[in-house]
Structure 1
């Protein structure tokens, strides 16, 4: 099974061109590593360290964590499919705020990458 941790550059360019500078909502699906070799922590502990380190960056662009939790029951879908470990929904005021945050000096993306076995980052648009 292929894992996804890093941004797809081509899709990122399409995303950037489409959203302009409107508010954006990002859905994060996370699968933690059992063990982060670099730290000896579990992936869940490592991701918690990432969130703590990333909080000032989120605050600096007034991003809002709308939801952070773990899926519990597959009500519709294959019962043999493993659920993600965590789901986070974050809202940013604009693409430029999101871009500024993830490209800020000191942004702890390495902690995110260390903690995760697999992930999805999905831009979601409100249906009007």
Structure 2
């Protein structure tokens, strides 16, 4: 008996009931010269069934690989979008803070000018009393 495709004996599932049959012929060193016609037909049937299983398995692997690749691309695109969004938010915050800083600087300059005017006016008023 064997345990699947890597078994040293030919195994295949019967189409009618899905049970596994071991032919007793070694897959690795099958000698068809001394086989009877029935045994040869059984071995060919087993090889055909195994090839079909291998083709199905390869097809499943290809489909899984395709799905994994799609998911990988989706996650990469999502990651890129998130990075761009964060970059735009940071840029917007920097622009807002820059505008706020300019407004505060303008208010400070206006305050200094108001103090300068107030000081000069008090000096002018004092000069009138002299």
TM-score by length of 2: 0.20
**1 or 2 for the larger relative contact order (CA 8 Å, sep ≥6)?**
1
TM-score by length of 1: 0.21
Higher strand share: 1
Instruction: Find the structure with the greater CA-based Rg.
Output: 2
Higher helix share: 2
